Amino acid sequence: MTSTPVVQAEGLVRSFGGRRVVDAVSFTLRAGDCLALFGPNGAGKTTLLRLVAGLLAPAQGTVRVNGVSIREGAAARAQVGLVSHASMLYGALTVRENVELAARLYGCAEPSVAAHAALALMGVEDRAETPARTLSRGLQQRVSIARAMVHAPRLLLCDEPYTGLDDAGSAALTEVLTERREAGAALLLVTHNLTEGLALATQAAIMRRGRFVRHEARELLDPSSYQSQYRELAAVHD
Amino acid sequence: MGEAPGTLAASWIVARKDLAIEFRTRTAFLSALVFALLGVTIFYFAWDATAVAAADLAPGVLWVIFTFAGLLGLQRSFGSELADRAIDGLLGAPISREAIYLGKALANLVFVSGILAVTIPAVVLFYNLPFGPGIGALAGIAALAAVGLVAVGTLFSAMAVNTRMAELLLPMLSLPFFVPIVMGAAQSSARLMAGRPIAEAWPWLRILVAFDIVFVTACTLAFPYTLDE
Amino acid sequence: MTSASEPLPTARPRRDPLLGVAIVAVALVYVRALAFTPIEARQGAAQKILYIHATSAFIALYVAFALMAIASILYLWLKDEKLDRVAESAAEVGLAFTTVVLLTGPLWGKTIWGAWWTWDARLTSTLFLWFLIVAYSLLRGAVEERGRRARYSAVLGILAALLVPFIHLSVYLFRTLHPMPILLKPSAPSMPSEMQVTFFSAFLAFLLLFAALLRARYRIATLRDHVASREQEHA
């Protein structure tokens, strides 16, 4: 069981309009791994995330989650949770309904129980009956995160999840992510915030123009110099 | 964690979600309903009542109005999915793409059926249609027509919503496809309500049934190609 | 993707010899039809419109539309951009031919039947075909992103092909149950051989014209896509 990596990406390539947005990216995450992915805007981080989530088809390469190709069928996606830029919420539905919907779609045995638990983890259970569109951006973000976790995914893909969160929200998120990691999940965390990213990471990578220009284990890098190295690498001189 | 839902179960989840959203706001349903009733009324006064009996006019009016009211409902079908990229939530879930289409089509079917449930009695009332076995047949024809309308309309709605001229494009794409539905429904219901033997309506009903089978299948298969993957 | 591997059509304007041949062929057929083919007994000279009308109708449906539908299916299967361009070109040239049918039909109808438009089965089906191709063109115009445009058009193309038999059936059924003005039947099966030859030559000539126009339109599409690719690369 522990020998199968949670996610294995190999040689992922994806182009838009003739330009390679993701260019031969490979990585492997095992249970408890967290890959913090940094990079300037337009580097291809979001596209990479969508490829791993199965929302986009790669032109080349494969993504295997728990050994099953993510493009092979619906079941492979059951293990994945996604937090993206957009909230992915239905504004007209209540907070609870949004999370319960996800619980049902992912086949949770008791959707309302799971939804309540997820909302409580992110501290929004008191807003459960309010329509999602009436919430502030930060609270919506918390609901999105709850939605992504409700089915206890083995692979969590987070695209700048700390955006819009206040201190309490950030703390809740870090706690939840740490707990998930300790439970054996793998995380792929795209963020601009080096401190927060490195705090959770077991691997760190910098993406630029579709490629991983640096990718190493967390313990091998020095956080204090990483910041300036990152700035250098991320500076885009086209 | 339990099993991920199969296609039928997932369709039902998606349909329930869409109906919950529609029920929450109700504006689209009420607008379409009012449009249908107004249309039926206006048509009555657009004809010379002494030249053409109202009962003869009724089938044509009913099915034309049904088409346009149906379009109003179909317009909103995918709007909620784009707003905050909620569609990604559906696409990332372990459900088949076909389930998304079937769920939305099912919700649209309920929507259109709701409109028919009010419009048909209104037409019977306003156009002095005789109460007979024909009325029951009307319900059956309505079901067939609604399935065809919704099958094609849901697919085109998925495409139109991603374009710049969604409100214009959806009717332009759908109306040629609605022609066999309107013809089949109007011609068969006219004959049945005039008390003619069912054999006369049968060729038209066959077209409706064949249309439904062909296009429900074709649109379900085509739907994944309308997604950006 | 349009790439350097596909030869770029020359930038210099170049006359396509096929187009020249086609135009000459069509002109020759006109001469033959007008001067060297006997006038039909019952319909008079107006029957000669059929040489354009009937052949255009046939080509529009069975060549242009069929080509568009087949290219659409193949595109969804093979994902080759060239197929999308073929479908696009076939649709546009088909639209031209369909318009010709709809313009010549009433001309013939007015002379023969005395009415500009009757809901003749074939003419009605052609009208719907026209609507379908217009819808196809509108859809293409409304989608900017190339891949999505190709996919959407292909879906519509296939569905439209599935719809055509239903339109034909419905219109046919409608007409047989609704007596229409008694029509003079177009040329009886025993057509004099000169007319048969003219019909056949007309068909060949217009087929050539279709092929030439298709090729020209395809070239334009390829050029346009090349330019768009270059612009994106520099963006």
Q: Calculate how close chain C gets to B159, using CA atoms only, in Å.
A: 7
**Would you list the DSSP string of A138-200?**
HHHHHHHHHHHHTT--SEEEEESTTTT--HHHHHHHHHHHHHHHHTT-EEEEE-S-HHHHHHH
**pLDDT tens, C157-189?**
999 999 999 998 998 888 876 555 444 445 444
Q: Which of residues 118-177 of A touch B (CB under 8 A)?
A: 131, 147, 151-152
Structural domain that includes position A31:
7-88+154-234
Count of structural domains, chain C: 1
**C226 in any annotated domain:** no
Q: Which CATH number goes with the domain that contains A211?
A: 3.40.50.300
Contact across the interface for C128 and B179, Cβ inside 8 Å: yes
Complex prediction ipTM: 0.92
Interface of C with A (CB under 8 A): 1-3, 146, 229, 232-233
Residue A33, helix vs strand vs coil: coil
A contact test, residue of B17, B27, B80 with most A CBs within 10 A: B17
The pLDDT profile of chain B, 229 residues, written as one tens digit per residue, is 567 898 999 999 999 999 999 998 888 899 999 999 999 999 988 887 788 888 888 888 999 999 999 999 898 888 889 888 999 999 999 999 999 999 999 999 999 999 999 999 999 899 888 777 777 888 899 999 999 999 999 999 999 998 988 889 999 999 999 999 999 999 998 888 877 888 888 999 999 999 999 999 999 999 999 998 8
A contact test, residue of C76, C232, C234 with most A CBs within 10 A: C232
CA atoms within 13 A on the CB side of C26: 15
**A134 in any annotated domain:** no
Provide φ and ψ at A186, rounded to 5°: -115, 145
Chain A residues lying within 8 Å of C234, measured CB to CB: none
Contact A55, B229 (CB under 8 A): yes
Q: Calculate how close chain A gets to B80, using CA atoms only, in Å.
A: 7
Chain C residues lying within 8 Å of A15, measured CB to CB: 1
Contact A168, A123 (CB under 8 A): yes
For B4, B26, C100, the CA distances from A96, given in Å and listed in that order, are: 20, 20, 60
Count of structural domains, chain A: 1
pTM (2 d.p.): 0.90
**A98 in any annotated domain:** no
Domain locations along chain B: 7-226
**pLDDT tens, C5-27?**
455 655 555 667 888 888 888 88
Residue A210, helix vs strand vs coil: coil
Q: Calculate how close chain B gets to A15, using CA atoms only, in Å.
A: 12
Tell me how far apart the alpha carbons of residues A114 and A105 are, in angstroms, rounded to a whole number. Answer: 12
A-C contacts at Cβ under 8 angstroms = 12
**A15 in any annotated domain:** yes
**A164 in any annotated domain:** yes
CA atoms within 13 A on the CB side of C92: 19
Interface of B with C (CB under 8 A): 152, 155, 159-160, 162-165, 169, 172-173, 175-177, 179-180, 183-184, 187, 203-204, 207, 210-211, 214-215, 218-219, 222, 225-226, 228
CA atoms within 13 A on the CB side of B134: 24
